[in-house]
Amino acid sequence: MAEISFAILLLSLATIILNVNADAGRPAVFILGDSTADVGTNNFLPGSQARADFPFNGVDFAFSIPTGRFSNGLNSADFLAKLLGYEKSPPPYLSTVNYSRYSRTTQALKGINFASGGSGIFRLTGQLPSDTPNSGKQNAIPLAEQIEQFESVRSSLMAAMGPLRTLRFLSKSLFFISIGSNDIFEYYRSNNKLSKERFFANLGIAYENQLKALLELGARKFGIMSVPSIGCCPSQRLYSPNGGCLEELNDHARAFHTKIESILCRLSEEYQGMKYSLGNAYEMTINVIDNPLPFNFTNVKAACCGVGRLNAESNCNPNAYLCSSRDNYLFWDLFHPTEAAAQLAAVTLFSGPTRFVAPINFSQLAQA
């Protein structure tokens, strides 16, 4: 019996190694971040209020299923995976915890999504205040904890393939990260007395340490998405009498992009073999807002799904107003892009010019 079990183990390991070789031309994709990349993580957090597993979310997904994506359909993580040749994007990490060891390792060879809606670079970002219901339960999984989850996946790969093969595999894998908006929103809306300079210094230190943690675990190829023009979200336009963008928030988004640029440049000099692609989400979004018609957008101010002025006075829900021409809207809800906007963002990241993604685009990163 022991000999049979050992033979099955060897066969499983051989299959895993063959899969690594077979997928040599298509890198694995590990996705970390917030609701812009969440494909259902928060469905597994019973106390979370940052969820999208209810209508009208998912109205344009297959069979109109609300999957937990903050979208009417797919998000940018989905489209990036498709552009890399995958039929669908990696599943949420929490959906794999009950897989068999073999199935979990096989999935890891294609990639896993750790992104969690409401999360941030700081551990406390997105967590519920102590005086609210469910305050003792986790509302979102911060980036540091997402990296801890990735470390457990890495351990499974190490056990299956050994250190050398695992590190070689991870060095060729892509790590897509989209995070930071929630940290900035909370700072902007709080009574925090920190200066803007001190806040971004602290945020940069935290982000750099988390990127270093991934580098120490073997990551080498980073596709980073900076913060878009969050002052132009429908939820923020509400604060302007004429529905205009909040330029102070947009200034914060630009400042964070500059901070990420310097971090990535520094880390690429410190860690041998590190390559990166930085998407300028601010420029990408403003370009569409300032010139929407070539991109088939006729409404770049209001949410497609919501209530009240600009459909931004309440979250998207089954009782909200739902626009019919969803492909013509930039925003799906108070904060998030429509499927059409997410696809445009992914295509721009994948093959766009240096104005929007630099020093190389995500396609070039995958081939590097």
Catalytic residues: 35, 333, 336
Query: Rounded CA gap, 229 and 318, in Å?
Result: 28
Query: Rounded CA gap, 290 and 188, in Å?
Result: 24
Strand pairing class (305-306; 321-322): antiparallel
Strand pairing class (299-303; 321-322): unpaired
Q: Which residues pair with 329 in a beta bridge?
A: 299
Q: Do 239 and 295 touch, CB atoms closer than 8 A?
A: no
Strand pairing class (329-331; 299-303): parallel
Backbone φ and ψ for 206, nearest 5 degrees, come out as -65, -45
